[in-house]
Amino acid sequence: MIRKAVGAIVQYNGKFLLVHKVKGAQGKISGVWDFPKGGLESHDDHLEAALLRELKEETGSAMYVIKKQYEAKVSFAFDAPTRQIIGFEKQETTMFLVEYTGDMTDLKTEDDEIDGVRWFTKEDVVRLVFPEARQFFEQYVVPQGETLV
């Protein structure tokens, strides 16, 4: 079975928003920077609603405008112990380009899986995120000049 998820490439003034994950949904991720993202829930009416919910949960802000849904997805397989715990073999994350419209005072973590929210340059993003997210970012965001001003 495939776990469906949503994720955001959030921009503001040429920088990209990452969240610092201290605990993944399965308790295995510790101390990594990543794009805001998470699994679809049964009460989510559509992908955009799920994305805005995840952004609010992980960053504390609702000040976002969805600009684009990417056709490509970030996909990865779970390891055997995780598969057994969560019942999914892999995850497919639908990614969106999102503009932050807040004033920075609303960015605060509200999720116990996240302990930081910060802006990074594209060079930092490439260095910090998971390999699958890095590949997506380098292939679909950077070459397309997806910069919101």
pLDDT digit string (tens) for 11-63? 999 999 999 988 654 445 567 899 999 989 989 889 999 999 999 999 999 99
Domains of the chain, earliest start first: 2-141 (3.90.79.10)
Residue 149 is predicted with a pLDDT of 46
The span from the first CA to the last CA of the chain, in angstroms, equals 39
Determine phi and psi for 91, rounding to 5 degrees: -130, 140
Q: Which tokens sit at 98? A: 């999102």
**Beta carbons within 8 Å of 78's beta carbon, 6+ residues apart:** 26, 86, 88, 89, 90, 91
pLDDT, tens digit, 9 for 90 and up, residues 83-104? 888 888 899 999 999 999 999 9
3-state secondary structure string across the chain? CEEEEEEEEEEECCEEEEEEECCCCCCCCCCEEECCEEECCCCCCCHHHHHHHHHHHHHCCCCEEEEEEEEEEEEEECCHHHHHHHCCCEEEEEEEEEEECCCCCCCCCCCCCEEEEEEECHHHHHHHCCHHHHHHHHHHHCCCCCCCC
Q: What is the largest distance, in Å, between two alpha-carbon atoms of the chain?
A: 44
Residue 76 is predicted with a pLDDT of 87
What pTM, to 2 d.p., does this model score? Answer: 0.88
